[in-house]
Structure 1
Amino acid sequence: MTDLFTLDAEVRTDLGKGASRRLRHANKVPAIIYGEGKEPVSLTLEHKNVFRAQQEEAFYSHVLTINVDGKPVECLLKDMQRHPFKQVVMHLDFLRINAKNAVQVNAPIHFLNEEEAEKLGGTMAHHMNEIAITCLPADIPEYIEIDVANLEVGQTLHLSDITLPKGVTSDELAKGESHDQAVVTLNAAKVVVEDEDDSAPEAPTEAPAE
């Protein structure tokens, strides 16, 4: 595990909107960690460390280590609040995990060979950018690759067409066949039909009067 996925945190007892505002002014991020039958704990993290980590795609599905007052706690990021227009992380929610218990996460999709597929004359339409999955923490994939090189024009890949890593199951497919959602489609390219030139004068319908 890289340093990007290990963050130091301090337990905070000064709670409320005013306290959170003061923390943000001090370049810190308020957070909370909960789960595994333990009491929620309010935390404070350094904004610069959080901001650097959240730029990595894997941060959102990777097992993280939060050093809470020096004691390591393994967890997953469950929610992140950002400022509507500033590059500021406003709040974080972490979920404690147990290596023996399965967890639900969203794994990002990486589409491979899209240019090859579009050479057939189609355009690619992504219906999903991530897949909700369940697996043990050790089996969480950083991302799921889908090769679309052999996709034909008009063809759609569904969740049931995707090969997931060993030990990983789709949350939607677990609900039944009716939840076999479309993932990606190679649509036929739109044909633009040009209108006839309306600038040409119309032929007279009646002979001119003599």
Structure 2
Amino acid sequence: MADTHTLNASTRTEFGKGAARRTRRANLIPAVLYGHGEAPQHLALESHATFLALKDNANALLTLVIDGKKQTALAKDVQRDPVRRTIDHVDLVIVRKGEKVTVEVPVHVVGESAPGTIHQVELQHLTVTVPATNIPEIIEVSIEGLEDGAILRVSDIPRPEGATIDVDPEHEVVIVSTPRASADDLAADEASAEAGSSAGADSSEA
């Protein structure tokens, strides 16, 4: 079972932009919890604890303690301040034991490709359907020893336990290649070489 983060939550009775600003000034984050046919609950979450829970894993499993009762949830949407990157608002969705959810999981490249080659990640995230209690933080893709021209596609990626990857199996995920000089670089090198030749000729004539 995935690690969970326990967050204390209180019910909000004030709504609107002004109420949201007052909530944030109190070091709390406005949030809404919904799902499974339940009426939406307007909540206030502890700011620092919520930031830590979601800092490295947007799909972290959360245990909300609301008026003494526990509810498991996932962050469906996290709104952040564009400058300070603090969390302004969170949409939460109720999850229950045994159900599957569809989330985006970041791709993490490991290993070293063949000497002289570089790799390019074509898909930064993969959409997966996975048990809510077993969401991976990352999907590792190994490029160890891959040569120039190697392509890893979705069909080559190991599936997380109990998960399916909801992306076209032929979609490229990582491409390994050898850096090649651009046409502009080649033209600049040729111009430099010609300039050097001309300078040498002028010097000999002098």
Report how many aligned residue pairs link the two structures. Answer: 193
Distance of aligned partners of 1:172 and 1:124 in 2 relative to their CA distance in 1, 3 Å threshold: same
Deviations 1:59-112 (A, max 9, x none): x12321111222111111111111110142100111101222211011222211
Distance of aligned partners of 1:28 and 1:139 in 2 relative to their CA distance in 1, 3 Å threshold: closer
1:198 equivalent in alignment to 2:201: no
The answer on whether the counterparts of 2:105 and 2:136 sit within 8 Å (CA) in structure 1 is yes
Counterpart among 164, 167, 173 of residue 183 in structure 1? 173
1:152 maps to what in 2? 147
The answer on whether the counterparts of 1:36 and 1:98 sit within 8 Å (CA) in structure 2 is no
1:168 equivalent in alignment to 2:163: yes
TM score, norm. by length of structure 2 = 0.85
The answer on whether the counterparts of 1:101 and 1:137 sit within 8 Å (CA) in structure 2 is yes
Quote the Cα distance in structure 2 between the aligned partners of 1:186 and 1:145.
16
**Aligned-pair RMSD on alpha carbons?**
2.2
Greater than 4 Å deviation, 4+ residue runs: none
Helix, strand or coil: the match of 1:53?
Answer: helix
2:52 maps to what in 1? 52
What displacement does 1:201 show? 5.5
What displacement does 1:202 show? 10
1:18 maps to what in 2? 18
1:82 equivalent in alignment to 2:72: no
Superposition pairs for residues 62-101 of structure 1, below 5 Å? 62-101=60-99
One-letter amino acid matched to 1:106: E
What displacement does 1:2 show? 5.7
Deviations 1:149-199 (A, max 9, x none): 0322111111011111231001124xxx5xx32111112212353222326
Sequence identity, in percent?
33
The answer on whether the counterparts of 2:3 and 2:61 sit within 8 Å (CA) in structure 1 is no
Which has the larger displacement, 147-156 or 38-47? 147-156
Unaligned runs of 5+ in 2: 202-206
